[in-house]
Amino acid sequence: MISNSQTAHNFAHNLKENLSSGNMFWESRNDGTRRIYSYGHHFCIAIIDPAADVVLFTTRGYSNTTAKHISLVNSAVCHYNNIIYVYDPEAAALDNLKQYAAEIKSIFDSLKKSITRAAFYIKRINDVYESAYKYAEYKNANIDFLKFISPVYDEFTTFVNTPEFAARLESQERRAAADRERREAIKAERRENERLTSAERVAKWESGANVWLNYYDTEDNVPLRLTTRKGYQVVETGKGVIVPLLEAQRVATLILAGSFEGLTVNDTYRIIEHNAEYVQIGCHRFKMDYLTEFAKKVQTL
């Protein structure tokens, strides 16, 4: 017994037909074609027609093991120039053309519902249409092609050529371009951020810059800054917690008075520990002198 990979190779190159891997095998037919199967004749992966220099390759799925068989055969026949992807290589031409039409319609329905992946859906439909056309040519089934494929494809082309769709697509492309630009700007900021020292990152963050602070930047002392959210002044911590200014001023008054017992922030974060050097509020650890100076700043607002 040989490996599945070797079986796929033998099938592609017409070698040692009588050897198989047990759960994947191939055979020659009187019409000159070679056919390879996964587990049994119920699942044909591909048919090679040497006379026409054509490979019919299944688009079906089945089990995880069969998916591996399909992948091995796909790699083995990749040197063939004319591979036609079809639902079932052994099915009647009419049945496969109906499957092509159903797939185009399904993708078309997805396109009508979502413009965000329009380019992907349009390419998929055109790829399926091209496979259907090549398959119909190979099977001399042009009449059935015109009957089943042309109507649904014509409906698709009419839809994508309307001014309304063009406007939607242009709008989506503008949003996509803006998103790409935003992501690239974020990547550039992160690259720049990585070149800074921890002290430099904290200083930039405190000044209002869009800087990403890591765990080590906030481990010994969580920085604080005044900023605005939805038009209101707030205090933001280096861990992303937002405290309304009035609440921050209330807490600042208690801190400056040394009234730590029972102190809470946002009715959520409680004093866990405090001494002359540090204050632990929830998951936030502050140096006492830093917190005191910030409290004084908040009270002046």
Q: Is 233 a residue whose pLDDT tops 80?
A: yes
What are the Cα distances from residue 265, in Å, to 90, 92, 96, 154, 220?
Answer: 71, 72, 67, 64, 20
What pLDDT score does 19 carry? 67
Which are the contacts of 206, defined by CB distance < 8 A and separation ≥ 6?
Answer: 223, 224, 225
What pLDDT score does 188 carry? 84
Q: What does the alpha-carbon distance between residue 53 and residue 242 come to, in Å, rounded to a whole number? A: 68
Per-residue pLDDT tens for 259-281?
888 888 988 889 888 999 999 99
The three state secondary structure string of 170-191 is HHHHHHHHHHHHHHHHHHHHHH
- % of the chain exceeding 70 in pLDDT: 98
What pLDDT score does 111 carry? 93
What are the Cα distances from residue 10, in Å, to 28, 40, 159?
Answer: 12, 18, 46
Q: Is 86 a residue whose pLDDT tops 80?
A: yes
Give residue limits of the domains in the chain.
4-86, 93-161, 213-299
Per-residue pLDDT tens for 142-161?
999 999 999 999 999 999 99
C-beta of residue 221 within 8 angstroms of C-beta of residue 290 = yes
Q: What does the alpha-carbon distance between residue 204 and residue 105 come to, in Å, rounded to a whole number? A: 54
Task: With CA atoms as reference, report the closest residue to 59 among 44, 49, 72, 48.
Answer: 44
What pLDDT score does 247 carry? 92
Residue 198 CB burial class (10 angstroms; 0-12, 13-18, ≥19): middle
C-beta of residue 197 within 8 angstroms of C-beta of residue 210 = no
What pLDDT score does 55 carry? 97
Interhelix angle 118-139/93-113, rounded to 10 degrees, is 170
Assign 193 a pLDDT band (cuts: 50, 70, 90): confident
What pLDDT score does 17 carry? 67
Sign, CA torsion 157/161/164/169: positive
